[in-house]
Amino acid sequence: MLSTLSADFRIIFDRDPAACSWLEVLFCYPGLQGLLFHRLAHWLHSIGTPLVPRLISYIARFLTGIEIHPGAVIGRGVFIDHGMGVVIGETAIVGDYALIYQGVTLGGTGKESGKRHPTLGTNVVVGAGAKVLGNIQIGNNVRIGAGSVVLRNVPSDCTVVGVPGRVVYHSGVRVTPLEHGNLPDFQAEMIRTLVNRIELLERQVETLECLKFSTKASVLAGILAPSESDLLKNVSIGFDDYNYLKNVSIQQFLDGAGI
């Protein structure tokens, strides 16, 4: 227990540049205070103490704005930054050295019994306002972007963004927990891809119209019209680029964890 509390305390200095002294961290960091209350409440809950664990969690919520059910399992070295509005459900499991920002919910999706809250691996970063819902598995070294809603399992070493959350793989790329602001914008990429597709289709329509006009003019003038192969060759201009966009960007978007 003492080693866990020490890890909870030391991790703040590693991940928060605003932490100046141990007195400031002890008395002015609600994330640490919420964890201290939870460690006590969880121990009492594990030995079957009635009412008191829930009362402790309620007091912690009133003082810190962080609501953690006594039944939740929280690993060592977890840092809840700022913490206001964080909700962690009864059967949630948070791995070691997770970083959780304000407004995060680790909740359920219904009234089912048993394991109904998410399980987070080690070194997971959950951005501000993100919602991770249901009995799902979040792998190690996963970053969940701010405001994302995660409803399905997420493998290790990747990033999740969007509503619903979609997966971006970063296998083999080492990222630090504090780089959660450097996230891809799936929606913007998809809009760009669709705009490119519309522009390509417009160019093809213009080409067909020009060929149709030139063919009609050539027939009227008694000149031999272009062959069918020439028409198809001109119409297919840019089609390889479109197929590439379709096979890569669109497919990645549709195959994301939110679909």
Nearest to 104 by CA among 90, 124, 82, 85: 85
In a domain, 208, yes or no: yes
Domain edge (last residue) among 140, 163, 179: 179
pTM: 0.72
Q: Which domain holds residue 101?
A: 2-179
Which pLDDT score is estimated for 257? 46
Q: How far apart are CA 98 and CA 94, in angstroms?
A: 7
CA dihedral 23, 26, 31, 35 (to 10 degrees): 160
Q: Do 154 and 192 sit in the same domain of this protein? A: no
Nearest to 72 by CA among 111, 101, 52, 46: 46
Q: Do 79 and 167 sit in the same domain of this protein? A: yes
Which pLDDT score is estimated for 259? 39
Domain edge (last residue) among 179, 207, 222: 179
Which pLDDT score is estimated for 91? 94
Q: How far apart are CA 68 and CA 65, in angstroms?
A: 10
Q: Do 174 and 241 sit in the same domain of this protein? A: no
Q: Structurally, how many domains does the chain consist of?
A: 2
Query: Quick one: CA dihedral 231, 235, 248, 152, positive or negative?
Result: negative
Q: Do 175 and 197 sit in the same domain of this protein? A: no
Q: Do 198 and 134 sit in the same domain of this protein? A: no
Which pLDDT score is estimated for 72? 94
pLDDT tens-place values along the chain, 259 residues long: 777 888 888 888 888 888 888 888 888 899 999 999 999 999 999 999 999 999 999 999 999 999 999 999 999 999 999 889 999 999 999 999 999 999 999 998 877 788 999 999 999 999 999 999 999 999 999 999 888 999 989 988 888 888 888 887 665 555 555 555 566 666 666 677 777 778 888 888 888 777 777 666 665 555 545 554 555 555 554 555 555 555 555 665 655 544 3
In a domain, 259, yes or no: no
Q: Do 25 and 151 sit in the same domain of this protein? A: yes
CA distances from 88 to 41, 78, 118 (A): 14, 13, 9
